[in-house]
Structure 1
């Protein structure tokens, strides 16, 4: 694959998810990611389940294509090493609680002194100003404070815990992941700006800013109309029919997004009179009478199994699809065709299937060139590249100033995409 960020060195001080996902995307595009971790266990995600043979799958899911250097951030030796790494880098990524870099001895003035051209990418919980700027923010908390949970979950009349006032967490850490994406975009923009003669500097985003920007028309409704959107279960908030519908077997998703599709859908389901039914003439009518419309549709869909309806509806030009769990999704024909699942090996030789990054350039998809690193796997290699002797590395490791994983015979290689 093309690697437009080849030659860019990123010092990654981030941990958990938002920052590491940011640097995973940069690594996919060819940047060299040096993940600098603490001697006190490294990235916190290394201790988070689920585990496979002692390896954190949480950590492994977002740390492909990176190197690991393990230092005592608060020792004079560790700070000196980190300062040297930063002086020669293009980018620093961190998602510490505000003030942590300063406590480590790297305030903005120090970073400027070390490397005036350094792009600093930061992900915080609540942003750089305001009463909560110094607070730590986690995906769960921000989902609630951003309004995201208020529009997620069962719709009106769906039983206990449904309707206005209910709140459900999105099933994946969507705010962390999207904040990492936003930070990566900001970093690449700053690097491009430097090429255009604009001085790079601080790039920052926060979980709260990102989460609120995910609100789209729901947030705009609250701003412009003063109305708080309510959860609608598996239905689109304003378009119908657009949601999950029962068939003779499993439920399927159907998204009728235009009048042309609506007419075709009615014909396909054998309910042509619905087109002229005053309850369903316009999109607004259909949304207002969603329950009656859903009942008619599901009566028609009950005539066939999901496996027959999905191709029929799709061939009619109406977006439609099955509802998979992750096992089914990852094993699907389309995922295999895209080569989304690639295979690498851990240092102990065990197989590690991983999802590649989501980008393709000129028809070439991103690749997994190395599996997630062990803690300190590249400490000795990178420090010796910088002129430190093996004796120095050994002494500092003995003194607890750094951690080196046992030298690997070779870098784990991918086994190619799943076909």
Structure 2
């Protein structure tokens, strides 16, 4: 945790990945992020993976460092409380992050009627308001048809929800950008971040759209790195590595580590290619190159090869399971200062991840767990809305909050 956003108050009414991850990133940089939760939890409160007791590891991972106010949003009085929280006054408040529908009681228009300079950030499926998830958007843009073994025709969706995670990052960025503008202009903002637009624009930025228009769909190529030299290789001891050589230095280092310079010279003579100078040529002629590398890697064992690869400046990484990595890999998990072992609302104690960005030279604050559902209801109603004990007690008695 860092404190560079200390003093900001963000109200979040969101579920699943994109919205909550945006709030998570803001909280881990020091903002006060207050979740509005439905009594009993929203649609992702019991989402897998679950503990044996039925608590969601997913939910408590995405909501670290936040506060939770539990409100009955099915009743008009409860919805009024949610609107009041989102539109509460304050120079560093009036920031609302949600994936609720465009229309309804939490619409930008409804909130702006209460606070003209409010900033709303709305995660959406399709830009026209139609529902979508990361996986359905990914299917629509054609990425699964480019993924998987060459020659296979079954679509392969990536296990990580790329557009959701990118959506959370965009949400945090756009909210803070709009706040900077509001401080100079006084203007609020309605910001919409559809997953469909995230996918389409990202593919446009990386040249996929232009490629499809001018050259057609990219074919499947298994684990081959498109446009350069990269692939997985099996070793004699059963280990498997992914090796990449994009720059001339990486290429020369790889040849030196595997003692393949003579064999590569023969292929260059036969093809007229200059593999050191042209990374595209390494991709074009990969069918001729790969057998040499397969043989070299297949005769090596990891304990001997790893030091040679590192000494030569080769870019490589081992294939390993996540369970193995979280228990043994110091760079990623066991020795990574991004993680701190804390107790969580589920009752389990395990490492919690902090912000991915590191502020060099600044100490990280302690990790904060996710809240218990409604744990901060009374404090938030008092601090943000100024309700006294009697008023809060009456809301409890009426079953509007918990």
Do they fold alike, i.e. is TM over 0.5?
yes
Match of 1:416 in 2: none
What is the correspondence of 1:179-198 to structure 2 with a 5 Å cutoff? 179-197=167-185
Alignment partners' CA distance in 2, 1:33 and 1:272: 57
Q: Deviations over 1:11-38 (max 9, x none)?
A: 1011111100000000011110010011
Shift of 1:144: 0.3
Of 248, 273, 281, 2:274 maps to 281
Of 127, 131, 134, 1:139 maps to 134
Tell me: CA distance 1:123–1:382, structure 2 relative to 1, closer, same or farther (3 Å): same
Match of 1:93 in 2: 97
SS of the aligned residue for 1:144 comes to helix
Alignment partners' CA distance in 1, 2:256 and 2:381: 69
Please say if residues 357 and 367 of structure 1, whose CA atoms lie closer than 8 Å, have aligned partners that are also in contact.
Answer: no
Match of 1:30 in 2: 30
Of 183, 200, 225, 1:236 maps to 225
TM-score (structure 2 length as normaliser): 0.89
Tell me: CA distance 1:199–1:389, structure 2 relative to 1, closer, same or farther (3 Å): closer
Match of 1:402 in 2: 401
What is the correspondence of 1:2-151 to structure 2 with a 5 Å cutoff? 2-39=2-39, 41-52=40-51, 53-88=53-88, 89-99=93-103, 102=104, 104=105, 106-127=106-127, 133-151=128-146
Shift of 1:198: 6.3
Moved more, 17-26 or 172-181: 172-181
Shift of 1:265: 1.8
Alignment partners' CA distance in 2, 1:174 and 1:75: 35
Alignment partners' CA distance in 2, 1:236 and 1:358: 26
What is the correspondence of 1:162-177 to structure 2 with a 5 Å cutoff? 162=152, 165-177=153-165
Q: Which runs of 5+ in 1 are unaligned?
A: 128-132, 157-161, 404-419
Match of 1:410 in 2: none
TM-score (structure 1 length as normaliser): 0.85
Alignment partners' CA distance in 2, 1:329 and 1:48: 24
Alignment partners' CA distance in 2, 1:340 and 1:290: 38
Match of 1:376 in 2: 374
Moved more, 358-367 or 86-95: 358-367
Shift of 1:251: 0.9
Pairing 1:202–2:206 present: no
Q: Which runs of 5+ in 2 are unaligned?
A: none
Aligned residues: 385
Pairing 1:320–2:309 present: no
Alignment partners' CA distance in 2, 1:365 and 1:179: 28
